[in-house]
Chain A
Amino acid sequence: GAVVSQHPSWVICKSGTSVKIECRSLDFQATTMFWYRQFPKQSLMLMATSNEGSKATYEQGVEKDKFLINHASLTLSTLTVTSAHPEDSSFYICSATTPGQESNYGYTFGSGTRLTVV
C-alpha cells in the first residue's frame, strides 16, 4: 500500500530558530500534499495544500511567511516553521494523495512530528 514517511518524529528547538519537517511518499507519486496541525485532544486543522511545482495554498489564518512549504518533487514536501515560538508547539501531520486515487485508498498520512519549542 501507499506509504508516507515523515521526519523527524519529534523535535525540540529553541525559540527563534527554524525547524524543517519532511514528508516523503515512498512508493507513489504524490502530486498533492497536505499539512495539518493538531492540538492536544483536538481534530486536525488543515494548514495548507501543496501541489508539486507550484506555490502552496494556505488556509485562512495561517501565516505563509511563518510556515514555509516547498513541494519540489513528486515525492517530497517540506514544512519549515520559521522563527519558532512556544505557541508553535504542536503535532504536525502531512498527508499525500494523487488525483484519481482519493477514493481508492483515501489519503495516506505520515506518522506526525511532535514539535516542542522551548
Chain B
Amino acid sequence: GNSVTQMEGPVTLSEEAFLTINCTYTATGYPSLFWYVQYPGEGLQLLLKATKADDKGSNKGFEATYRKETTSFHLEKGSVQVSDSAVYFCALWDGGSNYKLTFGKGTLLTVNP
C-alpha cells in the first residue's frame, strides 16, 4: 500500500534559519505529491504540489522537488519567519479512482524570534 514518511518533529528554529522537512513515499504508479500546512486550530491549506518527476512546487518561499529516484519530496525554505510556525503534512495521491490522499504524520515547526 501507499505510505508517506516524514521526519519526526518537533522542529524548533530561530527566525531566518534554513528549514528542511524530509518526506519520502512509497506508492504504485506515479503519484501526485503535496505539502499541506495547518495553523493552530485551523484546517489544512495546500502549500505546494508537484505532479510528475522533477517538478518543483513552490509557494510563499517554500519549495519541494519531486525526486522519483529517491522517492522524496523534501520541503525547504531558505529563511523561516515566526509566522511559519505550524504543522506541515506531506501527502500523496496515487491517481486511484477512490481519490484518497495518504498523509504523513505531520511535523510541528516552531520558529522563535
A114 at the interface (CB under 8 A from B): yes
Least CB distance from B36 to A in Å reads 7
B42 at the interface (CB under 8 A from A): yes
Closest partner residue, chain B, to A45 (CB atom): B103
Least CB distance from A19 to B in Å reads 18
Closest partner residue, chain B, to A44 (CB atom): B103
Complex contact B45–A109 (CB within 8 A): yes
CA distance A74 to B15 in the complex (A): 43
Tell me which residues from 72 to 103 in chain A have a Cβ below 8 Å from any Cβ of chain B: 93, 95, 97, 99, 102-103
CA distance A110 to B34 in the complex (A): 17
Least CB distance from A26 to B in Å reads 14
B81 at the interface (CB under 8 A from A): no
Closest partner residue, chain B, to A9 (CB atom): B41
B44 at the interface (CB under 8 A from A): yes
Name the B residues within 8 Å of A16 (CB-CB): none
- A1-40 interface code vs B (CB 8 A; 1 in, 0 out): 0001010000000000000000000000000101000000
> Number of contact residues on A: which range applies?
20 to 34
Most buried by B among A42, A107, A111: A107
Complex contact B93–A102 (CB within 8 A): yes
Complex contact A106–B43 (CB within 8 A): no
Option from B44, B51, B99, B104 in Cβ contact (under 8 Å) with A109 = B44
B108 at the interface (CB under 8 A from A): yes
CA distance A99 to B95 in the complex (A): 10
B11 at the interface (CB under 8 A from A): no
Complex contact A112–B42 (CB within 8 A): yes
Complex contact B108–A41 (CB within 8 A): yes
A42 touching B105 in the complex, CB below 8 Å, given contacts A106-B46, A109-B44, A109-B45:
yes
Complex contact A6–B103 (CB within 8 A): no
CA distance A34 to B36 in the complex (A): 16
CA distance A102 to B49 in the complex (A): 10
Name the A residues within 8 Å of B36 (CB-CB): 106, 109
Name the A residues within 8 Å of B111 (CB-CB): none
